[in-house]
Amino acid sequence: MASIQAIEQTSVHQIQSGQVIVDLNSVVKELVENSLDAGSTSIEVRFRNHGLDAIEVIDNGSGIAPEDFESVALKHHTSKLRSYDDLENLDTFGFRGEALASLCALSQLYIITARETDRPRGTRLEFEVSGKLKSTSTIAAQRGTKVVVEKIFHNLPVRKKELEKNIKREYGKVLTLLQAYACISTGVRFTVSNQMPKGSKSSAFSTNGSAATKDNIIKVFGPKSLRDLVALDLKFDMQPTTSTLAAHDGGASRGVKVEGHISKPVFGEGRSAPDRQMFYVNSRPCGLPQVSKAFNEVYKTFNISQSPFVFANLIMDTNSYDVNVSPDKRTILLHDQGVLLESLKEALIELFESQDQTVPQTKS
Ligand code: ADP
Ligand code: MG
Residues with CB under 6 A from ligand 1: 30, 34-35, 38, 59, 61-62, 64, 72, 78-80, 94-101, 145
CATH code (residue 255): 3.30.230.10
Q: Which atom of ligand 1 is nearest to the CA of 101?
A: 6
Q: Is residue 358 part of a domain?
A: no
Q: What does the pLDDT average to over 8-24?
A: 86
Residue 308 and residue 171 share a domain: no
Q: Calculate the CA 352 to chain-centre distance.
A: 29
Q: Is residue 335 part of a domain?
A: yes
How far apart are alpha carbons 290 and 128 in whole angstroms?
42
Residue 159 and residue 18 share a domain: yes
The answer on pLDDT for 5 being more than 60 is yes
pLDDT at 145: 98
Amino acid of residue 220: V
pLDDT at 137: 98
Q: Is residue 54 part of a domain?
A: yes
pLDDT at 249: 47
pLDDT, mean over the chain: 88
pLDDT at 362: 45
Q: In terms of C-beta density within 10 A (0-12 exposed, 13-18 middle, 19 or more buried), how is residue 350 classed?
A: exposed
pLDDT at 358: 53
Q: What percent of the chain has pLDDT over 90?
A: 62
The answer on pLDDT for 243 being more than 80 is no
Most confident stretch, 108-112, 155-159, 249-253, 303-307:
108-112
| Domains contained in the chain, number | 2
Residue 206 and residue 124 share a domain: yes
The answer on pLDDT for 132 being more than 70 is yes
Residue 232 and residue 217 share a domain: no
Q: Which atom of ligand 1 is nearest to the CA of 79?
A: 14
Q: Is residue 361 part of a domain?
A: no
Residue 286 and residue 238 share a domain: yes
Contact 163, 23 (CB under 8 A): yes
Contact 42, 189 (CB under 8 A): yes
Instruction: Provide CB contacts within 8 A for 326, sequence distance 6+.
Output: none
pLDDT in tens, 31-85: 999 999 999 999 999 999 999 999 999 999 999 999 999 999 999 988 888 887 8
pLDDT at 275: 64
Query: Strand, coil or helix: what is 193?
Result: strand
CA distances 250 to 136, 245, 246, 255, 349, Å, are 53, 5, 6, 15, 31
Query: Strand, coil or helix: what is 331?
Result: strand
Which of 183, 205, 221 lies at the terminal end of a domain, its last residue?
A: 221
Domain of 268 in residue numbering reads as 227-353
User: Minimum mean pLDDT among 19-28, 207-216, 245-254, 274-283: which range?
Assistant: 245-254
Residue 289 and residue 148 share a domain: no
Main-chain dihedrals φ then ψ at residue 245, nearest 5 degrees: -55, -55
Q: How far is ligand 2, taken at its centre, from the CA of residue 127, in Å?
A: 17
Residue 126 and residue 20 share a domain: yes
How far apart are alpha carbons 220 and 178 in whole angstroms?
10
Which band of pLDDT confidence, cut at 50, 70 and 90, is reported for residue 165?
A: very high
Residue 267 and residue 184 share a domain: no
Which of 221, 248, 266 lies at the terminal end of a domain, its last residue?
A: 221
Residue 202 and residue 56 share a domain: yes
pTM to 2 decimal places: 0.90
Residue 163 and residue 18 share a domain: yes
Query: Residue whose CA is closest, atom 17 of ligand 1?
Result: 72
Residue 116 and residue 63 share a domain: yes
Torsion of CA 185, 307, 301, 313, to 10 degrees: -10
Residue 247 and residue 172 share a domain: no
Which of 201, 221, 241 lies at the terminal end of a domain, its last residue?
A: 221
Query: Which of these, 339, 328, 289, lies nearest to 310 by C-alpha position?
Result: 289
CATH code (residue 61): 3.30.565.10
Which band of pLDDT confidence, cut at 50, 70 and 90, is reported for residue 9?
A: confident
**323: DSSP letter:** -
User: Among 32, 34, 143, which is best to mutate for testing ligand 1, by the most ligand atoms less than 8 A from CB?
Assistant: 34
Contact 53, 63 (CB under 8 A): no
Q: Which atom of ligand 1 is nearest to the CA of 57?
A: 23
Q: Is residue 360 part of a domain?
A: no
The answer on pLDDT for 244 being more than 60 is no
The answer on pLDDT for 113 being more than 90 is yes
Is this complex scored with an ipTM above 0.95? yes
pLDDT at 268: 53
Q: Is residue 362 part of a domain?
A: no
Contact 151, 108 (CB under 8 A): yes
pLDDT at 194: 97
pLDDT in tens, 343-364: 999 999 999 998 865 544 444 4
How far apart are alpha carbons 350 and 189 in whole angstroms?
35
